[in-house]
Amino acid sequence: MSIVVLASGLGAISGIVGRNFAARRYAMAQILIVDMSDKTTFLAAHVAFLPLIAVQTTAFILMNLGIPRHHRAVTVQAILGELESHGRSITDPLTGLVNRRGLEEAFDALQATGPERTLFYLDLDGFKQVNDRLGHAAGDALLREVGRRLGE
């Protein structure tokens, strides 16, 4: 029976950490309530185990202080990684300007929120000749400079 009680307590604790990791003090209070309810019941029948329970409770608290913190750090890191990945997916790495996908997202957002917009189309006359005559490095440099000027 003790194993069943222990397993259900650990199951409840893992759910608490998963749901409330952002509010660490709240999560810790809930964890201690679950933990102490099991220990109080046990101590009512076995008072001689009080020193062992005190040591175990202290160790349990110290170990559980890091779990919500770690869970929160992992979640924040995943969210930041997702934001960075999204930023890369809508930006041209050479010029730093938004790419086609980024333009589509911007147009969708603007269409939903505001009045009609105008799109200016830019064509670099003679760009192919720059690439052909001076090489791709010169073409890339030209694109970076155009991107910098457009971003100003």
What tokens does 116 get? 């009609």
Q: Left (φ > 0), alpha (ψ -120 to 50) or beta: where does 96 sit?
A: left
Domain ranges of the chain: 2-86, 97-151
**Chain centroid offset of residue 134 CA:** 44
What tokens does 45 get? 């029948």
Q: How do the pLDDT tens digits run along the chain, 152 residues long?
A: 566 666 666 666 667 766 666 677 777 788 788 778 878 888 888 899 889 888 888 887 777 777 777 878 888 999 999 999 999 999 988 888 888 898 888 888 887 777 777 777 788 888 888 888 899 898 888 888 888 888 77
**3-class secondary structure for 81-124?**
HHHHHHHHHCECCCCCCECHHHHHHHHHHHHHHCCCCCCCCCCC
